[in-house]
Chains A and B, each alone.
Chain A
Amino acid sequence: MFLQPASYRRRRRRDAARFLPVLGLFLILLPVLWAPQDTPRRDTAPDGIYLFGVWGLLIGAALMISRALAVPGEDDDPDPDSDPGADQDLRS
């Protein structure tokens, strides 16, 4: 099966842009699992550092993805090359 490398990479960059918020949501909801309200440890400082760390990571990743998506010479729309079925479920 023949793949066009350039357009293949472009589609994967778009996928990365779609996955990023899901990853962010997962990492931010993680503290619910270790339940700081139930542990005797003093959690505000370490959890704060963790959350700001996740935040910084998301900003950095978003910066890289936004740069990668804005490669000149690429027309960002329409999406004719998006994978079939990628977001079909969202359309009627």
Chain B
Amino acid sequence: MNIKWLFLILLLFSLFGCRKEITNWDTQWSFPVIKDQLNLQDLVTDSLTLLNDTNGCKLVYDKTLYRIKLAEFIKIPDTTIQSQLAINFPSLNVSPGTILSQKDIENKLEIGDAELKKIKVKKGAITITFLNPLATKTYYTIEIPSFTKDGVAVKKTLMAEKGSTNSPSVVKSTLDLSGYSIDLRGVNNHTFNTIVTNFDMQLDSTASSATKVTNKDITKMSIAISGIQIEYAQGYFGNLHIESSTELPVTSLQKITNGNFKLSEATVELNILNSCKLMAKGKINSLISRNTLSGINISFQNQQLNNPFYIAPAWTKDNQLITTDKKFIFNSSNSNLLSFIENLGDLYKINYDFELNPYGNLNGGWDEFFPTSEISLHLKSIIPLHIQVNNLNFKDTLDLDLSNIPNGKSIKSGQFKLHCASSFPLDATVSLILLDGFKNILETIEGTARIAGKSKFSSENKISNVYFAPTLGFFTKMNSVKYVIVKTIFNSVDKSFEIPYNGKIDFQLSTDFEINTHY
């Protein structure tokens, strides 16, 4: 027999084993995940600081809302100065080495109604071009006494090959003007916006014979000024009118979705600073707090709003620029400041007018600005943390990608345990909303208890244990989680309280999971 068949059967047995079922069992795991502390300093970011004095803890918001840089308004536009030179005779034989000159040519710049005397260039360039129609090599020398650097005026000699009347030869040179001073007062220092130039042309002295020149052989020179940025200027800057509005979003307040809080007091300082040596006139037209979620707009009410004010020019003392200012102080007694802040606006709009040199050239053209010169609008608010909070809803969305957690389907059940010790006088109820990549809600996990705050009548920090237990079905889809919304509802423990400067909450998160292992 069939030994061959026997072999075949055994061979098949050796190749095909038993089909394995799934092996599985459940395990219980507990371990720490997070341990940290949140204190008041951690919650204060960006432009916010804390001030702790004998009257208690205060939240200080200090920010420059807007800056008017004068250099943005006083500009020398790109322009080209042109001049030309020709003989007055119909025709003339000019000997080799002959020099023809034009001296003290005054070139006027168009700069609106500004009358500038001096400027210092931060950035910019000039391009000098000569067109030579003469039938001999010619040397051109350009001198610009108005442009100096370290006391030396711009002077440049260029050689142009021979050209013709119909086809002049061209020679060019570019010069970086960074750091140059420009005197715009003209030849006799009594005018403004004026550049003085000199130029010579010398026929090739090595030529073997005289060159015939006609009155149609016109040598052309151009100076193209471009990209001038001013670092310093002196003169009359003209009458400038700036009307603008600024929006100031406070994104952290967008996370407050409901509820309210009450302040006991607040102070806001609005300060306008002028570091330009010119007079300014201003007016704040409106200041609005907008809560985009509730749609409520509150206009700031104060009698000083909508009234014009004047700011004196900055001045110099011992070579130091002294800034002038105009300060407004608002509080609950002279304005609706408390309700303005309690609106929890996440967008603030301020509308204002500024006019520079409102009465024209009163100082004989002695306006000045320096690299740091600006007119700026500063806001400083001081809010004592003596508040009352009622169902203040705070929502924050965080990225939480759980797609890489292996064997996510193996978690059968479980919970997180949050252990807290708080010295904040606030109760907090926390819930977690888990979302997929399309922001669909996968699971809402409510904390089993509130995180208790410390009463002002208690000396001990308040201990809380809160459990967060997802539903059983959640674990089969936890790999889809992309975001988590942490929703917290705050309430005052006592009716009115003061948040302590050293307030903190120690917390520790640990897990307790049942995991099904299978393979």
- Our verdict on whether A and B bind, yes or no, reads no
| Interface residues in chain A, defined as those with a beta carbon under 8 Å from any beta carbon in chain B | none
| Interface residues in chain B, defined as those with a beta carbon under 8 Å from any beta carbon in chain A | none
